[in-house]
Amino acid sequence: MMRVRVLPFGVMKDWLGESPATVELPAGATVADLLARLGETAAVRALRGIAVSVNAEFATTAHILREGDEVGLLPPVSGGAGRTDASEVALGVGRALLTREPIDAESLVAAAKEGEDGAVVVFDGIVRNNSRGRKTLYLDYEAYEEMAAKTMEELAREARSRMGVRSVTIVHRLGRLEIGETSVLIVVASAHRAEAFEACRWLIDTLKKTVPIWKKETFADGSVWAAGEPFPTGMAVDAVEDPHGA
């Protein structure tokens, strides 16, 4: 037998509890076997459409688990961690950062500019005061911090490589945010505006589908985890065995 550590995030906490759990499985068990075991104690529908990570890397249901593995249960992300300094990833030209401090957009934009740049394109995502017809009081963001920082770094590097931009900065806020505060800031600097616009749009759209960050919206009449966009094809769990045959 072996033991793996299961980390629920976002709405998964409502189904499986706030704290990480240790699950005992037979040697050679797969992610699919783990999900089937969890389906014995949680509604199976809660597991459909999620993605799974093993040791902070996306994994398929066929992935074979080993003693001590850390398995993340990741509902569709709805992002736009720990200590700010520990969550920053240097990119050489630009940076990826998770922070619990207010984001200073003006300073970050100024720092991104260099003499060879012809354009700096900025996406500044802010907390609005309403959502789906309900008055929003505040938002709470949480992340699988190790994995989120790594994924943000990969996105920044890919944008520089694919679109040919010079610098990419991605900063995402965690914790409680008030109305009007910046939740995510993306700054792209490039010699030409077309590449900068393309990279900035691609970064925010891809971040919202792949970076493991979730938000909980608190309204005047209650709170709810925001429904995220579906994971890209191949990342989500399409089917989970129902142990009760339902």
Q: Among 24, 41, 74, which residue terminates a domain?
A: 74
The whole domain housing 11 covers 2-74
User: By mean pLDDT, which of 136-140, 227-231, 242-246 is the weakest?
Assistant: 242-246
CATH number of the domain within which 194 lies: 3.90.1170.40
* 216's tokens: 């909980």
pLDDT above 90 (res 186): yes
Q: Does an H or E element contain 94, and which?
A: strand 94-99
Alpha helices in 85-192 (DSSP H): 105-112, 145-163
Residues contacting 36, CB < 8 A, separation 6+? 240, 241, 243
146 shares its domain with 186:
yes
Nearest to 56 by CA among 146, 172, 174: 146
Kindly report, residue by residue over 29-64, the tens digit of the pLDDT: 999 999 988 887 655 566 778 899 999 999 999 999
Query: What whole-number distance in Å separates Cα of residue 32 and Cα of residue 84?
Result: 35
Q: How far apart are CA 77 and CA 151, in angstroms?
A: 13
Residues 66 and 90 in one domain: no
- Together in a domain, 93 and 9: no
- Domain membership of residue 246 (yes or no) is no
On whether residue 231 sits in a domain, the answer given is no
Average pLDDT over residues 67-84: 76
- Give the mean pLDDT of 199-222: 95
Residue that the structure tokens 């938000």 belong to: 215
In angstroms, rounded to a whole number, what is the distance separating the alpha carbons of residues 152 and 123? 15
Q: What's the confidence (pLDDT) of residue 46?
A: 67
Residues 17 and 44 in one domain: yes
Flag whether 240 is in a domain.
no
What CA–CA distance (Å, rounded) separates 129 from 212? 24
219 shares a domain with 115:
yes
Q: Mutual orientation of helices 145-163 and 193-210 as an angle, nearest 10°?
A: 150
Contact 208, 79 (CB under 8 A): yes
Distance separating alpha carbons of residues 26 and 212, to the nearest angstrom = 29
Q: Which residues of 192-227 are buried (b: 16+ CB within 10 A; e: fewer)?
A: eeebbbbbbebbbebbbebbbbbbbbebeeeeebbe
- Structural domain total, the chain: 2
Average pLDDT over residues 207-214: 93
Looking at the DSSP assignment, which residues form a beta bridge with residue 97?
Answer: 88, 171
What is the model's pLDDT at position 240?
A: 55
- What is the H or E stretch that residue 15 is in? helix 12-16
